[in-house]
Structure 1
């Protein structure tokens, strides 16, 4: 019996030894850890599995089984977070015909391609604010299982609109082919349908709720800023989302629809083009975040100059609204509104997300604060700052690196050289 026990103990000991995971040490020449505005020099980040175990001053000596990643000539940062993307599509002259030519699988494969571009650009977490067939729910699951390379996705699945509103998928169609839309397809009228649509998103596997509280630029509809939800509908959406612990993101250009949404208790305002002082004051009072998407505004304004790029109904809206967003951002930043980084990529090209940093700095935000908007503040808005948003002990190991110093030259963020997500290296030059 003693011999059998001895043999069993030896076998168990062997199994336990085999399961021990060696540490990964990142030697960082400079570290922007996401907790403040300054850089730390000559730092070691100790990673165990998918988490940061320790952040030490100096270059720690590696053990025999440890892996060392040499980033002594780089600036290391937390994985970046883009709070407004659309992974399933990208704008172009033929984009408005795609809903008639693409199937669910086409959108899913397109999204997989853009997801890889996004994570390789250093954005390890994104909030996907609207898709077509819930394809980003499937994409999130595939990425989480390790079947595909891509960022950590928090998806709204299909956006919620009112009839004829910015996210009504039947806009612009002849009556003979116009589908019968309702809460399942994200079109609501009245409080009962508003609640049903939120519950439908929950059933579909969405993580967050996205609504279009005003008209939009790229929808085939005349107004880009009219309010499109009543107060009771907005209240019903927010209350129901709160029951499911879901945050609410709000597309809004016009100030009246924006103010209604803020008063209802939404989490964030996207774009915010015609935001005025009253709206800014309401946002500060209600701790509402602003996600500016400056580069989307600049992109559509530029493309509106090209004949045939947008439908003629869209073109004047793009010319008028697009150029205004950067100035709105400047006013909101100066007023002290909470700002989280977001690009609306899918309007502009996926993978170019970091260009937004340059526009933010150009409008008067410091380089460090621009970086915090895509790390610490984005994580706080998503209510995941206990897991992500900074390089600290106990956080998930989402870590990127760039050559140069982004506090001195923010443009270096457009050339990410190293990406680690959840403790796994996804890009290393």
Structure 2
């Protein structure tokens, strides 16, 4: 049975790594029975990074990509990196496709030293176009930077600057992702019509209808928030600690409201290690999405948002994951795919 329609299917993989309903002579059977899902997408994942500010590590990038592939992830969107993914990793047919966004773009003093390309408001549109053209059609902007009590009221790009950046990037066929946690940063990014809000910790419900109309996605990265809870609780008492804990507490309800409002909610795990997409799907379910919608956020809905074939249709790239039972009825099965095929290659 193939999702999302839960229909019985039979197909082959042709010599170009695409699905076909026409029998391929001499083909071996690699999946017989079970449930098939279009190759999973981690819409916010960083490969090859370890400590903040350190260069991208090619060996780590390959390891993280393998971890994603083993979990059924056929596509990773990388919203910012210290440098491009090494060609041997990006071109490896047994690893997920990478949709890159170039270097992070940030105001001076924002982001970790050595990672971001620091620009002024006047420089942002040109820089965004350059990063977009040099990468996978996306650029990533730090809409805010909240790492201490002192940075919580730091400067932000204006909505006007962001809107001009969106206009310029769209003119060359690109898209814009914005890291936004503060309410004001979220509000400016939504007003500018960006393509995706990353994290959205203090995104307010009154912005959701606008996001839905504009097709702006929310990538809440719930897994990394859950991972940080103990670390945040151990912080010294202060404004940032209280703000983060309150934000973590409200975010699941906001995610459910976003989905209900028609906002594309996508699954993204953020920091390494790779291969944690099943956890993010479960966090989305825990937040209030149905298992079908949560799985879609990491599969067909994410693929559609990224301009990829969302279903296992004739001629589609052979990206698929097989499970022994319906993962919507038993999401725990997502942690143990029976078979993973990426670009026509059996990788598990």
Q: Does the pair score TM above 0.5? A: yes
Deviation at 1:225, TM superposition (A): 7.5
Q: 1:22-73, CA deviations, whole angstroms, 9 ceiling, x for partnerless residues? A: xxxxxxxx322x3x4xx234x3122212111129xxxxxx77612212332x
CA 1:276–1:117: 2 relative to 1, 3 Å: same
SS in 1 for 2:32: strand
In the alignment, the residues of structure 1 paired with residue 332 and residue 217 of structure 2 have an alpha-carbon distance, to the nearest angstrom, of 25
Which has the larger displacement, 122-131 or 221-230?
A: 221-230
User: Which of 106, 116, 131 lines up with 2:81 in the alignment?
Assistant: 131
Q: Which residue of 1 aligns with 2:118?
A: 187
In the alignment, the residues of structure 1 paired with residue 234 and residue 249 of structure 2 have an alpha-carbon distance, to the nearest angstrom, of 16
Contact preservation (8 Å) 1:300, 1:322: no
Q: Which residue of 1 aligns with 2:321?
A: 400
Q: How many residues align?
A: 346
Deviation at 1:75, TM superposition (A): 1.7
SS in 1 for 2:47: coil
In the alignment, the residues of structure 2 paired with residue 87 and residue 64 of structure 1 have an alpha-carbon distance, to the nearest angstrom, of 38
User: Which of 117, 136, 140 lines up with 1:210 in the alignment?
Assistant: 140
Unaligned 5+ segments in structure 1 are: 1-29, 56-61, 171-178
Deviation at 1:124, TM superposition (A): 0.5
Matched, 1:416 2:343: no
Q: Which residue of 1 aligns with 2:247?
A: 321
In the alignment, the residues of structure 2 paired with residue 339 and residue 329 of structure 1 have an alpha-carbon distance, to the nearest angstrom, of 7
Contact preservation (8 Å) 1:117, 1:351: yes
CA 1:103–1:130: 2 relative to 1, 3 Å: closer
Matched, 1:265 2:236: no
User: Which of 70, 76, 96 lines up with 2:31 in the alignment?
Assistant: 70
Q: Which residue of 1 aligns with 2:19?
A: 52
Contact preservation (8 Å) 1:208, 1:249: yes
Matched, 1:290 2:218: yes
User: Which of 117, 126, 133 lines up with 2:67 in the alignment?
Assistant: 117
Deviation at 1:196, TM superposition (A): 2.5
CA 1:162–1:412: 2 relative to 1, 3 Å: same
CA 1:289–1:158: 2 relative to 1, 3 Å: same
Bigger share in strand: 1
Give the alignment's TM-score, normalised by structure 2.
0.89
Deviation at 1:300, TM superposition (A): 0.9
Unaligned 5+ segments in structure 2 are: none
What stretches of structure 1 move > 4 A for 4+ residues in a row?
224-227, 312-318
In the alignment, the residues of structure 2 paired with residue 225 and residue 31 of structure 1 have an alpha-carbon distance, to the nearest angstrom, of 49
User: Which of 109, 126, 145 lines up with 2:91 in the alignment?
Assistant: 145
In the alignment, the residues of structure 2 paired with residue 286 and residue 69 of structure 1 have an alpha-carbon distance, to the nearest angstrom, of 41
Deviation at 1:209, TM superposition (A): 0.7
In the alignment, the residues of structure 1 paired with residue 155 and residue 260 of structure 2 have an alpha-carbon distance, to the nearest angstrom, of 26
Deviation at 1:128, TM superposition (A): 0.5
Deviation at 1:206, TM superposition (A): 4.4
CA 1:316–1:142: 2 relative to 1, 3 Å: farther
SS in 2 for 1:270: strand
In the alignment, the residues of structure 1 paired with residue 211 and residue 244 of structure 2 have an alpha-carbon distance, to the nearest angstrom, of 26
Contact preservation (8 Å) 1:297, 1:324: no
Contact preservation (8 Å) 1:87, 1:114: yes
Query: Relative contact order (alpha carbons < 8 A, sep ≥ 6): 1 or 2 greater?
Result: 2
Deviation at 1:257, TM superposition (A): 1.6
The 5-angstrom pairing of residues 350-389 of structure 1 reads 350-384=274-308, 388-389=309-310
Give the alignment's TM-score, normalised by structure 1.
0.73
